[in-house]
Structure 1
Amino acid sequence: MIWLQMTANTGPAECCLAVTKALAQLGREAHKAGVSLSVVEQLAGPIGGTLRSVLVELDGAQEAVGALAGQWSGSIQWICDSPYRKMHKRKNWFLNGAAFAPPAVSVEHGEIRYEATRASGPGGQHVNKTDSAIRATHVASGLSVKVQTERSQHANKRLAAQLLLSKLGDLAKSEEGKQKSERRLHHFQAERGNAGRVFVGMDFVEKTR
C-alpha cells in the first residue's frame, strides 16, 4: 500500500486541470495494473473541475503498486494550449507527484467520532454521490477530516483514521510538522524541463520518446 500525492503547487488553473487529468489517467492505469485506487484527500483548484492537489491510496500487489507509484513520481509535463486563456502563448504546464508510506493506525476507535455525509467537489468517477463519505473527528482535540471515495463506509472509516492519525502527529509535533511541510513544499516544486512523463493535448495522450 502506498500513498501518492499529485500537486500543481502554486501553478495556474491550467496546472490544476493537469492534476485532474492526471488523476483520471492514473485511475485507468491502476485498473489495468490490477491496483485499487482510493481518493484520500483533495484540494479544489481555482476553476470548477480542477484540483490543486490530490492524495490517493494505491493498494494491491506490492510490485504493481510500487511500479505505478514510481511512474507518477517526480515532474510531469502537459503540453496544451490553455483552455482558459485563448491568446496565452504558454503551452507547457507542470505538476508533481510524490509517493510515501501511509501512517499506521494506532488511535483508539473510542477517541474518534464518525459521521456519514454526502461526497462533494471535483473528481469525476472517484467521487461517490451517495452518503458514503465519512467525517472523522478526534473528540479530544476537535480535529476533523473528511474522506470520500467510491468504496464503502467501512473503507472510508479506515482511510479517515489513517489521515486523522497523520494530522494528529503533526499537531503533536508542531515544530517538526512545520519543517516537514517546508521540505514537502520544496519537494513538490514542479520542475520545468525535467519531466519524467509528458502528455499532450486535451485528451492527455502520453508522448512517446
Structure 2
Amino acid sequence: MDYASLIEKRRERFAEVEKLITDPDLFSDQKRASETMREHRRLKELLEMWDELENARTNLQENEQLAKEDDPEIAEMAEMEIPELQEKIETLSEKVQYSLLPADPNEDRDALLEIRAGAGGDEASLFAGELMRMYERHAETRGWKIEHLDSSPSEVGGFKEVVLKVSGEEVFRFLKYESGVHRVQRVPATETQGRIHTSTVTVAVMPEAEEVDIVIRPEDLHIQATRSGGPGGQHVNTTDSAVQITHLPTGLQVKSQDGRSQTQNKEKAMEILRTKLYEAKVREEEAKYSAQRRALIGSGDRSEKIRTYNFPQSRVTDHRINYTSHNIEGIMSGAFNEFTDNLQKAEMEQRLAEANMD
C-alpha cells in the first residue's frame, strides 16, 4: 500500500498543530494542552521517519544502479551497502505503518505496575520480588524513573504485593504487554529432594491517571491512618504513617505505607486510587480494551498464564505469541526487549489487518 497520501494528510495536520502550540491560551486547558503536545510529538516523529525512509529508498535505487557499473570497485562497494539499506527500509516501513494507525491515547502515559504473588506461597512471593527487580533494571536501561507507592513484604524476604509508579517516555506503550500471569518453574531453596515447583505472580500494568481525568470529591472518601505492616518495606515505619483510603461510591480500597510520612502516603494512595478509577472508566468506554485486559491479567491461577520462566532449562516462553528465549539470566536482569519487540510486532500486524492497511 502507498502511504504517501496518508503522510500528506499528517503533514497538513502537523502544520495545524504547530500553530496551535504557539497559542498561549492553549495552556489554560491542561488536558487539551497535554493531548496537543503528545500529538505534536507523534506527528513530528512520524514525518521524520518517513523522510528517513524516503532517503533510504533513494539510496537503495542509486546503489542498485552503481552495482551494475563497469568499475568493479565501485560496483562492489555499492553491492555491500544494499543489504543494510534493505534492512533499514523494512524496519522503517514497519515503524511508519504502526505510527499511521490510530494512536492509543494511553500509550504516552506513565504507568502503575502492580505485582502480586499468586499460587505458590513463599516461592511466589520470592518470585514477585525478583520480577520487581527485573522491572527496576529494565526501567534503568530505558531511562525511566521508578517510585515505590506501596508494598507488603513477606516473611521470607519476598513480597506479597508491590505497587510501583514508572515515569518516563512512552512507559505504558512498552510495559502494557507485561500484564498477566507470570509462571515460574524451578527448585526452591527450601526443597530438599530437588523437586521442581510451579508458582505464579500476577502483574497488572495500568496507565497513570492525570488529575484532569478523574474528579474525586472529598466527601466520597474515607481516609484512615494505620500502622505499617510486614517486616519492613522500602523504609521501616514504626509510627501510624500508613494510609488507607476507601472510595465510598465504588467500595474501592487502596493503601500506601512506603512513604516517609503520613502526608506522602496519602498522596501516593490518592495516585493509586485515581489510576484505578481511571482504568475502570477506560474499561467501561472501551469494551475491546477491557476484554483484552481481562484476558491478560487473570486471577493468578496456574491455568491462566502469559509467560513461563523455566529455570532448570534456562527458558522463558511467552504463550501469546509462542516465542521462546533461552536467555533467562539476561531477562531477569531486565533485558526483556525481545519479548516487547515481538509482542509489538504481533499487535501491529493484528491492528493493520483490522484497519485493512496490510
Shorter-chain TM band: 0.5 to 0.7
Higher strand share: 1
Change (3 A) 1:190 1:39: farther
Q: CA 1:105 to 1:131, structure 2 compared with 1: closer, same or farther past 3 Å?
A: farther
Instruction: Count residues with an aligned counterpart.
Output: 197
What residue number does 2:268 align with?
159
Q: Report percent identity of matched pairs.
A: 22
Alignment of 1:1-209 (within 5 A): 1-27=110-136, 30=139, 33-40=143-150, 42=151, 48-59=156-167, 61-63=168-170, 65-66=171-172, 69=175, 81-90=187-196, 95=201, 97-103=203-209, 104-121=213-230, 124-125=233-234, 128-138=237-247, 144-150=253-259, 152-164=261-273, 166=276, 183=295, 184-185=297-298, 189=305, 191-192=307-308, 193-194=316-317, 198-199=328-329
Letter matched to residue 22 of structure 1: L
* Structure with greater helix share of residues: 2
SS of alignment partner, residue 187 of structure 2: coil
Q: Is the 8 A contact 1:120 1:127 kept in 2?
A: no
Compute the TM-score of the two structures, normalised by the length of structure 1.
0.63
Structure 1 stretches lacking a partner, 5+ long: none
Question: RMSD across aligned C-alpha pairs, in angstroms?
Answer: 4.6
Q: Tell me, yes or no, if the aligned pair for 1:51 and 1:122 is still in contact at 8 Å.
A: no
Whether the 8 Å CA contact 2:228–2:239 is kept in 1: the answer is yes
Q: Greater relative contact order: 1 or 2 (C-alpha under 8 angstroms, separation 6 or more)?
A: 1
Is the partner of 1:194 in helix, strand or coil?
strand
SS at match of 2:129: helix
Distance 1:106 1:128, change over 3 A: farther
